[in-house]
Chains A and B, each alone.
Chain A
Amino acid sequence: MLEVKGLNAWYGESHILHGVDFEVREGEVVTLLGRNGAGKTTTMKSIMGLVPRREGSVKFRGNEMVGLMPNQIARAGIAICPEERGIFGSLSVTENLMLPPIVAPGGLTVEEIYTLFPNLRERAKTAHGTKLSGGEQQMLAIGRILRTGAKMLLLDEPTEGLAPVIVQQIGRTIREIKNRGFTVLLVEQNFRFAATVADRHYVMEHGKIVDMIPNHLLETSMDKLHEYLGV
Chain B
Amino acid sequence: MIMIFGIPGPLLFGQLLLGLINGAFYAMLSLGLAVIFGMLNIINFAHGALFMMGAFVSWILLNYLGIGYFPALILSPLLVGIFGIVLEKTVISRLYKLDHLYGLLLTFGLSLVIEGLFRNAYGSSGMPYRIPDMLSGATNLGFMYMPNYRGWVVLAALTVCIATWAIIEKTSLGATLRAATENAPMVQAFGVNVPRLITLTYAGGVALAAFAGVLAAPIYSVNPNMGSNFINTVFAVVVIGGMGSIMGSIVTGFGLGVVEGLTKVFYPQASATVVFLVMVIVLLVRPRGLFGKAA
**At the interface, yes or no: B155 with Cβ under 8 Å from chain A?**
no
A52 to chain B, nearest CB (A): 10
Q: Could you say which of B79-87, B191-199, B257-265 contacts chain A?
A: B191-199
User: How far is A50 from B184 in the complex, measured between Cα atoms in Å?
Assistant: 11
Measured CB to CB, the closest approach of chain A to B179, in angstroms, equals 5
The minimal Cβ–Cβ distance linking A154 to chain B, given in whole angstroms, is: 10
Majority-rule SS of A interface residues: loop
Inter-subunit contact B191/A148 (CB<8 Å): yes
Question: Interface size of A by Cβ–Cβ distance < 8 Å?
Answer: 25
Question: Are A70 and B181 neighbours in the complex by a CB distance under 8 Å?
Answer: no
Contact A91:B189 (CB < 8 A) given known A71-B194, A86-B183: no
Q: In the complex the two chains form, is B190's CB within 8 Å of A79's CB? A: yes
Interface residues of A in 19-52 (CB under 8 A from B): 48-50
Q: Give the residue among A79, A82, A86, A98 with the most B Cβ atoms within 10 A.
A: A86
Q: Within the assembled complex, what's the spacing in Å between the Cα atoms of A95 and B175?
A: 7
B71 at the binding interface (Cβ < 8 Å)? no
List the one stretch of A10-18, A99-107, A180-188 in contact with chain B: A99-107
CB within 8 Å for A103 and B178 given contacts A86-B186, A88-B183: no
B189 CB, nearest partner CB in chain A, Å: 4
The chain B residues found within 8 Å of chain A, CB to CB, are 172, 175-176, 178-179, 181-183, 185-194
| Cα distance, A71 to B189, chains bound together (Å) | 5
Contacts of B179 in A (CB 8 A): 88, 90-91, 95, 99
Tell me how far the C-beta of B163 lies from the nearest C-beta in chain A, rounded to whole angstroms: 19
Interface residues of B, dominant DSSP: helix
Tally A-B pairs: CB < 8 A.
Answer: 61
Q: Is the CB of A99 within 8 A of B189?
A: no
* Cβ-closest 7 pairs across A and B: A74-B191, A100-B190, A95-B175, A86-B186, A90-B178, A70-B189, A70-B188
Known: A88-B178, A88-B179, A99-B175. A82 touches B186 (CB 8 A): yes
Contact A90 to B181, CB < 8 A, known contacts A82-B186, A98-B175, A99-B176: yes
- Nearest neighbor of A80 in chain B, beta-carbon distance: B189
Q: With an 8 A cutoff between CB atoms, is A59 at the interface?
A: no
Q: Which residues of B contact A80 (CB under 8 A)?
A: 189
Residues 96 to 149 of chain A near chain B (Cβ within 8 Å): 98-101, 103, 145, 148
Q: How far is the CA of A49 from the CA of B172 in the complex (A)?
A: 25
The yes or no answer to A69 lying at the interface (CB within 8 A) is yes
**Further contacts, 6 of them, CB under 8 A, given A88-B178, A99-B172, A99-B190:** A71-B192, A88-B186, A90-B179, A98-B175, A99-B175, A103-B191
